[in-house]
Structure 1
Amino acid sequence: MHWRVDTQGQTIALATEGGIPEVIYWGPALPEAEDLGQLALAARHDLTGGMLDILPSLSLSPEPGRAFQGQPGHMLAEADGTALLPAFRFDRAEGTAGRLELISTAPGLVLTHVLQARTTGTITLQTRLSADRPIRVQWLAAPVLPAPQSGEMIDVHGKWVGEFHLIRSPWAPGIRTREARTGRSGQEHPPYLILAGEGCTNTRGEALALHYGWSGGHRMIAEELPDGRRQVQFGHPLGAETEAGTRFETAELIACASTTGLNGIATLFQSDLRDRVVQWPDAARPRPVHYNCWEAVYFDHKLDVLAEFATRAAALGAERFVLDDGWFGKRDDDTSSLGDWAIDRRKWPEGLHPLIRHVHSLGMSFGLWFEPEMVNPDSDLYRAHPDWVLGPLDQTTGRNQMVLNLALPEVRESLFRQVSAVLAEYPIDYVKWDHNRLLPVVDAAQTRGAYDLFDRLRAAHPSVEIESCASGGGRIDSGILARTHRVWLSDSNDALERLRMQADAALFLPSAITGSHVGPRHCHTSGRVLPMAFRSWVAAQRHMGFEMDLRELTEDEALTLGRVTAWYKENRAWMMAGTILRLDSDDPAVTAEVQVAADGGRFVVFAGQAETSRQSLPRPLRLTGLEPDARYTVSLRNPEDAPRQSRGPNALKNGPLTLTGRMLMTKGILLPVAWPATMWVVEGLKL
């Protein structure tokens, strides 16, 4: 028996000879006329000395106890801990157009693999397991996929204020295992993997990619078996299911395939998150420019100062004012009051109404910070309910806080009532939801409880947008983005660091959900002092905001920030709906991208000079994503940022050029000489 699941550019073909089905092809779309029977025959391997007489199947869930030499796709036990080694047999296939359910059974067990083609070009895969009695699950992989025989693995590593570093690893016999056991997606190991073909670059070559949509950490296995076959598995962390049960399931594994390099992967992931995963309260609403007060005042809340910031922010073009940490309980620093979500009347004797009225009078909406999943030992909630804490009471705290056990219904109910009461009393259209503590234990029930709390609050307050922040970019995945609308990529507002982070994160994240703020002149996390033009343009690459004491701005800085903000607002409608394509820069000192409108009618190039180039003059910058035979007018938006050393007749400094897409993509454009921390912005219009 054979099946196939297809999207516009991707095919997954499967077959079975009686056992759990296996993937016989995953890659760029196959012709409709492909004979699946012949394809299955072509996938049969030979045997040689030192092997068993039958090659164990690399199925959707390779089975322990079936002589499979690699990592199994499930590890089960009876409720008392006795090892469970079922022998599954394929039972039936069910489904509708674009959706396939493959059901295998063993005595008392049903194993279901679900594959679904999405209109965004991705295919989602999920594993479900049910039992007629309580059993224990140590490991359950999402449907297992074969990996290609050439190329390399690209996955992601990071840290606080240093997220989204791409790590390239060659294949070799044995296992590359990556496990995030912090209880959240994690800066350390976000749940993404790209399988890049030989010679794959941003703009050319083949690539496959996976994204595991779970916010509670994950385990990834990339294994080359002794016989040479390769497999990739994703699932919850090992042992995350801590209780015996009768129903288990993985998160969705999102798969995509590209024949246009890494940018083909980026295009699919960006559109999938923006157009399928995120559930917008009002999809037509422009992405508003933020002002967040955190790096201006921290916990020191004074109505007159914050009102002044709101006035200044509105004058610069801000459209949303976000009051960050410090408004509740007795919160003067990070040692107390998490869990006590009531207004601090010492700071706010009339509540938040005076500030919100002022913000609204300026034409801005109002947002508020929460961290509902956490509790401080110095809080009324903890003193009343120490039994609500996840993990042992003598655990090491993180940022002076502990984690509330969201698997408990009474905990979720308390948090729902507290947060909902604030959202009901005040006209709040936005919540910055933080998560600053790693979990002391790995427990999938905690993530399910967090999802339930998000879902209840979303249902009760459907017009409120939510940002996912977790010590910056510590919880960024499709599971959390199904419940939120923006991510805080990093706590670093250093524009040089952000330039690189945003470029690498664009392989997975669209502009519309990626928050980026213009930080203070003297960066609070790196100590760097960077020009306002550079800080502003880096923020304008994504969902733009400001986060600083606005009283520090010189007149020239305010004019520059206001000018870039106005440009962002003029262009955000098409940018937020467009695609970010990374450019193959021949100068490693330059990080560049082109954002192309959905209809292809316009584009903007951002070329960031991160450091001094080795050569004297800029190398040509080749674009991508354009129509080869179309003609485009290209113009430099910010020639005023050229340094005094730029003294030659560079054409873009003096006016627009008209060139074909083929010329722009093969020869490229010549930009002026630039100092480090300069962002060139080149606009293009199709004629």
Structure 2
Amino acid sequence: MCCACRASACCWPRSRSGGSRKGGEAQLPQPDSWIVLNGRASTLVLEVVPGEAPLWRYWGPRLPDGVTPPASLRSTRPTPSFSPDFDQPLSLVPGLGQGWFGEPGLKAHREGRDWTFQVTDCAVQQDARRATVSLTDQVARIALTVTLALDPDSDVLTVFTTLTNQGETPLDVHWLAAAVLPLPDCSKSVRSFSGRHNTEFVPVEDALTRSQWRRENRRGLTSHDCVPGAVVLADGCAYGAQLAWSGNHCQLIDWVDDGRWQWQLGEALMPGEVRLGPGETLTSPEVLTTCAADANGVAQNFHAAIRARMDWPGSAMRPRPVHLNTWEGFYFDHDEAALKDLADAAAKAGIERFVLDDGWFHRRGDDTTSLGDWWPDNVKYPNGLGPLADHVTGLGMEFGLWVEPEMINPDSELYRAHPEWTLQIAGRPLITARNQLVLDMGRIDVRDYLYERLAGLLNELPIRYLKWDHNRDLTAAGERPSFRKQVLGAYDLLARLRRDFPAVEIEACAGGGGRIDAGIARYTHRFWTSDNIDAVSRVSIQRGYLQFFPPELMGSHVGAAPAHATGRIQTMRFRNHVALPGHFGVELDLRKLSDRDLARLGEGISRYKALRDRLHQGHVWQGKGADGLLWQAHGSVEALVLLITRIDPQTQRHAPGLRLPMLDPARRYQVGETDYDGAWLVQQGLPLPPLRGEDGLVLEVTAL
């Protein structure tokens, strides 16, 4: 279906009731059509009005087919006192300076002029799953296209916006909302995630009030402390949104005068960062958003959408291999013979991938030197990396390698040859972090150099995996701000390598969980969730992660005891338990384990291999039981893998039953040797044995 609506004037005479007068009666613009998109369990409805951006009428639980509003929005509400005579409801792109007093969807100007945005022309193309809305302001000479696509399988709505400068002079853009979403008046709170390095995904819940809620990140990459997404909890349902972008970002929730809220997400632009010349365009990142019954439903929809976006080698995900990383076992102290011994121990324990972390390249003895010099150190590896890689692959394991392409040390051959390749501002000091500067990824010569170095390694060695790190925030980003060029340049380099080496998997790491987002997921296959491998810390980190991303992308390792990040000691049993549901890995020197711990680790690896296909498919539910119990379930209502975790000791004399609300009350289930009615497990719960602090239990729940 295609509909078009035109307005030849930018204003109309209005009556107190909000319309023009004709024959003594108020005349309001009537809907030209409706935009209706139905998902599996959600519906959105927009009112298309001549000469305006479509008005948000509904987004929420699924409506029956054919349901539309009975009348135009303006006809259902009189003009309040002390208000413009023509009402400006929440639209797909709220304007500025024409009677909308909330947050606008676009902030731009042309040397101080054309700062208002008011649609004069609207055209809509729509089918059952997708709507493209083209909006033009003929006065400001600005065109916007908003694309909305509702996937019926995941029930996730993907939205993005493209801005075109149709004028003859440059247009400075300060804010372009990728999506403007309505939230119902029954919305209560917003759950977002903060944190820091080693403490990612700290949940924060704020009540929604008339005050604006806002989270903004200016660190240049996704960040540890400002996850680009959130969940809004409302009466009877929940709404989730996440921005598919690996750089600066902003999301805000703004109260609307009719009791609803608007939720905007988009790229946070620095002053002067985007200036569009005549005819140039700016396309926002995508927003993935969904409505579901609760936060678990939001997570399940997000997992399905992310899985559909993945670009796996061979077009399909294979079972996630048990993974060993050398970092906390060796750090920079590489010894080829010792690493071969570690590979022997790893293969014997059942590990399937061996990843050589930082310290392998030219003169890299610590973190002060050599980033950018991507060739093997001739002291540690006099014959290159080939002998170690061949030893690893000869044991039946894959070989992987750590790199940090976007970074450079001042003490490096590359910096001495090309100091101009770093992000810098003339006359300002160079600000290092972890002794690093940042390469200008907006430069094609920089990307070509990095491609040549990485492609040389990938052609020479049997590398099946790259751990791609990014160990600092950005500060000065060029003479003109180029934060977004950094992101686009990194995407370009990743895409080029993926195209030419399609069998290689890539892990996204940024000091742990500093670059976890749906944008980088287009090019990568695993997230390093945190540099903190302490099992107690990892429980909350991984639970927060699972709100947005599926478990098979979640790097979860068994680390050393004491944990290097916290100094705390946990049993091997508990470390195995916490690492089990994600992409299981090991990050310690196996040669130093006691026979008992080595045997326990082998048991954890065997359990993971037996369960990984079920853990990494289907739905994930998370919840809290009584007395501090935490649980999560993977699979379907017919067959679940149930993980029960206790961090603190039990305080009650008798453990309460664990209710499993996702089960079918009309069916019977087997748990271990016992059969239960589904209704009993839903209402009364599963009886549990006593658990000590820092302990866990894995159960299989199967419908009969």
Report the 3-state secondary structure (helix = DSSP H, G, I; strand = E; otherwise coil) of the residue aligned with 1:57: coil
- Residue 701 of structure 2 is matched in structure 1 by 684
Q: Is the 8 A contact 1:103 1:111 kept in 2?
A: yes
Q: Is the 8 A contact 2:121 2:136 kept in 1?
A: yes
Q: Tell me how far 1:660 sits from its aligned partner.
A: 2.5
- Residue 109 of structure 1 is matched in structure 2 by 142
- Residue 472 of structure 2 is matched in structure 1 by 437
> Which of 218, 221, 225 is residue 181 of structure 1 equivalent to?
218
Equivalents in 1 of 2:469, 2:311: separation in Å?
Answer: 18
Please identify the structure whose Cα radius of gyration is greater.
Answer: 2
Q: Is the 8 A contact 1:121 1:256 kept in 2?
A: yes
Gap regions ≥5 residues in structure 2 = 1-32
Report the 3-state secondary structure (helix = DSSP H, G, I; strand = E; otherwise coil) of the residue aligned with 1:556: helix
> Which of 374, 377, 387 is residue 354 of structure 1 equivalent to?
387
Give a deviation string over 1:51-90, Cα, whole Å, max 9, x none: 2222223211211111211111111122x45453243223
- Residue 629 of structure 1 is matched in structure 2 by 666
Whether 1:314 aligns to 2:347 is yes
Q: Is the 8 A contact 1:500 1:591 kept in 2?
A: no
> Which of 676, 685, 693 is residue 659 of structure 1 equivalent to?
676
- Residue 447 of structure 2 is matched in structure 1 by 412
Q: Is the 8 A contact 2:35 2:126 kept in 1?
A: no
- Residue 325 of structure 1 is matched in structure 2 by 358
- Residue 501 of structure 1 is matched in structure 2 by 541
- Residue 157 of structure 1 is matched in structure 2 by 194
Equivalents in 1 of 2:86, 2:291: separation in Å?
Answer: 31
Q: Is the 8 A contact 2:108 2:173 kept in 1?
A: yes
Letter in 2 for 1:67: G
- Residue 547 of structure 1 is matched in structure 2 by 587
Q: Tell me how far 1:174 sits from its aligned partner.
A: 2.3
Q: Is the 8 A contact 1:213 1:252 kept in 2?
A: yes
Gap regions ≥5 residues in structure 1 = 199-204, 636-655
- Residue 631 of structure 2 is matched in structure 1 by 592
Q: Is the 8 A contact 1:157 1:189 kept in 2?
A: yes
Equivalents in 1 of 2:690, 2:228: separation in Å?
Answer: 39
- Residue 334 of structure 2 is matched in structure 1 by 301
Q: CA RMSD in A?
A: 1.7
Identical counterparts, % of pairs? 37
- Residue 142 of structure 1 is matched in structure 2 by 178
Aligned residue runs from structure 1 range 335-346, under 5 A: 335-346=368-379
- Residue 51 of structure 1 is matched in structure 2 by 83
Q: Is the 8 A contact 1:274 1:513 kept in 2?
A: no
Q: Tell me how far 1:96 sits from its aligned partner.
A: 4.0
> Which of 437, 448, 460 is residue 488 of structure 2 equivalent to?
448
* Count of paired positions: 655
- Residue 281 of structure 2 is matched in structure 1 by 247
Taking structure 1 as reference, are residues 62 and 524 closer, same or farther at Cα in structure 2, changes over 3 Å only? same
Q: Is the 8 A contact 1:594 1:623 kept in 2?
A: no
Equivalents in 1 of 2:493, 2:440: separation in Å?
Answer: 12
Letter in 1 for 2:519: G
Whether 1:618 aligns to 2:635 is no
> Which of 659, 668, 677 is residue 685 of structure 2 equivalent to?
668
Whether 1:399 aligns to 2:430 is no
Aligned residue runs from structure 1 range 169-568, under 5 A: 169-198=206-235, 205-225=236-256, 228-239=259-270, 242-245=273-276, 246-259=280-293, 261-392=294-425, 394-440=429-475, 441=477, 443-568=483-608
- Residue 202 of structure 1 is matched in structure 2 by none
Q: Tell me how far 1:45 sits from its aligned partner.
A: 3.4
Q: Is the 8 A contact 1:596 1:625 kept in 2?
A: no
- Residue 648 of structure 1 is matched in structure 2 by none
Letter in 1 for 2:207: P
Taking structure 1 as reference, are residues 241 and 249 closer, same or farther at Cα in structure 2, changes over 3 Å only? farther
Taking structure 1 as reference, are residues 227 and 395 closer, same or farther at Cα in structure 2, changes over 3 Å only? farther
Q: Tell me how far 1:206 sits from its aligned partner.
A: 0.9
Report the 3-state secondary structure (helix = DSSP H, G, I; strand = E; otherwise coil) of the residue aligned with 2:239: strand
- Residue 106 of structure 2 is matched in structure 1 by 74
Letter in 1 for 2:282: F
Q: Is the 8 A contact 2:39 2:62 kept in 1?
A: yes
Q: Tell me how far 1:277 sits from its aligned partner.
A: 4.1
Equivalents in 1 of 2:128, 2:588: separation in Å?
Answer: 51
Q: Tell me how far 1:625 sits from its aligned partner.
A: 2.6
- Residue 129 of structure 2 is matched in structure 1 by 98
Letter in 1 for 2:136: T
Q: Is the 8 A contact 2:197 2:512 kept in 1?
A: yes
Equivalents in 2 of 1:446, 1:240: separation in Å?
Answer: 16
Taking structure 1 as reference, are residues 602 and 86 closer, same or farther at Cα in structure 2, changes over 3 Å only? closer
Report the 3-state secondary structure (helix = DSSP H, G, I; strand = E; otherwise coil) of the residue aligned with 1:174: coil
Taking structure 1 as reference, are residues 148 and 37 closer, same or farther at Cα in structure 2, changes over 3 Å only? closer
Letter in 2 for 1:683: E
Give a deviation string over 1:361-403, Cα, whole Å, max 9, x none: 2111011001101111111111111111123362321111011
Report the 3-state secondary structure (helix = DSSP H, G, I; strand = E; otherwise coil) of the residue aligned with 1:420: helix
- Residue 162 of structure 2 is matched in structure 1 by 128
Report the 3-state secondary structure (helix = DSSP H, G, I; strand = E; otherwise coil) of the residue aligned with 1:577: coil
Letter in 1 for 2:659: R
Q: Tell me how far 1:276 sits from its aligned partner.
A: 2.8
Q: Tell me how far 1:143 sits from its aligned partner.
A: 2.6
Give a deviation string over 1:592-629, Cα, whole Å, max 9, x none: 111124xx442111111111232222221112332322
Taking structure 1 as reference, are residues 90 and 83 closer, same or farther at Cα in structure 2, changes over 3 Å only? closer
Letter in 2 for 1:592: W
TM-score by length of 2: 0.90
- Residue 24 of structure 1 is matched in structure 2 by 57
Q: Is the 8 A contact 1:193 1:211 kept in 2?
A: yes
TM-score by length of 1: 0.92
Q: Tell me how far 1:281 sits from its aligned partner.
A: 4.2
Taking structure 1 as reference, are residues 220 and 665 closer, same or farther at Cα in structure 2, changes over 3 Å only? same
Equivalents in 1 of 2:346, 2:684: separation in Å?
Answer: 42
Taking structure 1 as reference, are residues 375 and 267 closer, same or farther at Cα in structure 2, changes over 3 Å only? same
Stretch of structure 1 that moved more, 308-317 or 659-668: 659-668
Give a deviation string over 1:215-247, Cα, whole Å, max 9, x none: 112111111145534211111013376142220
Equivalents in 2 of 1:211, 1:529: separation in Å?
Answer: 35
Equivalents in 1 of 2:571, 2:74: separation in Å?
Answer: 60
Q: Tell me how far 1:445 sits from its aligned partner.
A: 1.5
Report the 3-state secondary structure (helix = DSSP H, G, I; strand = E; otherwise coil) of the residue aligned with 2:361: coil
- Residue 19 of structure 2 is matched in structure 1 by none
Equivalents in 1 of 2:376, 2:75: separation in Å?
Answer: 64
Report the 3-state secondary structure (helix = DSSP H, G, I; strand = E; otherwise coil) of the residue aligned with 2:474: coil
Taking structure 1 as reference, are residues 53 and 280 closer, same or farther at Cα in structure 2, changes over 3 Å only? farther
Letter in 2 for 1:90: D
Q: Is the 8 A contact 2:90 2:256 kept in 1?
A: no
Equivalents in 2 of 1:520, 1:530: separation in Å?
Answer: 9
Letter in 1 for 2:289: A
Q: Tell me how far 1:538 sits from its aligned partner.
A: 0.8
Q: Is the 8 A contact 2:106 2:117 kept in 1?
A: no
Letter in 2 for 1:367: G
Taking structure 1 as reference, are residues 284 and 214 closer, same or farther at Cα in structure 2, changes over 3 Å only? closer
Equivalents in 1 of 2:555, 2:76: separation in Å?
Answer: 48
> Which of 635, 640, 658 is residue 603 of structure 1 equivalent to?
640
Q: Is the 8 A contact 1:162 1:490 kept in 2?
A: yes
Equivalents in 2 of 1:486, 1:548: separation in Å?
Answer: 19
Q: Tell me how far 1:15 sits from its aligned partner.
A: 1.1
